[in-house]
Amino acid sequence: MANKLKYEEAFSELQEIVNDIENGEIDVDDLSQKVKRAAELIKICRNKLSSTEEDVNSILKELED
């Protein structure tokens, strides 16, 4: 659950940065920091698209309890 929130937050934070950059609302001094942050966020989001962290066995175990 925490992880899920994380990627959704990452997604919306990324959208904000993208908007700022697109609209030219970012100071040149902040630019490199924002770009670095955006790269991190993209990594989180892309991982989410192509990975699975659930395990059938652990769910089955929970179901039996």
**Residue numbers at the binding site for other proteins (CB under 8 A):** 1, 4, 7-8, 11, 14-15, 17-18, 21-22, 24, 26, 28, 31-32, 35, 38-39, 42, 45-46, 48-54, 56, 59, 62-63
Q: What letter does residue 44 receive in the DSSP assignment? A: H
Name the amino acid, one letter, at 2. Answer: A
State in angstroms the smallest separation of the CB of 56 from other proteins.
Answer: 6
Q: What are phi and psi for residue 8, nearest 5 degrees?
A: -70, -40
State in angstroms the smallest separation of the CB of 4 from other proteins.
Answer: 6
Question: For the chain, first and last CA: distance in Å?
Answer: 21
Check: CB of residue 17 under 8 Å from CB of residue 38.
yes
State in angstroms the smallest separation of the CB of 34 from other proteins.
Answer: 8
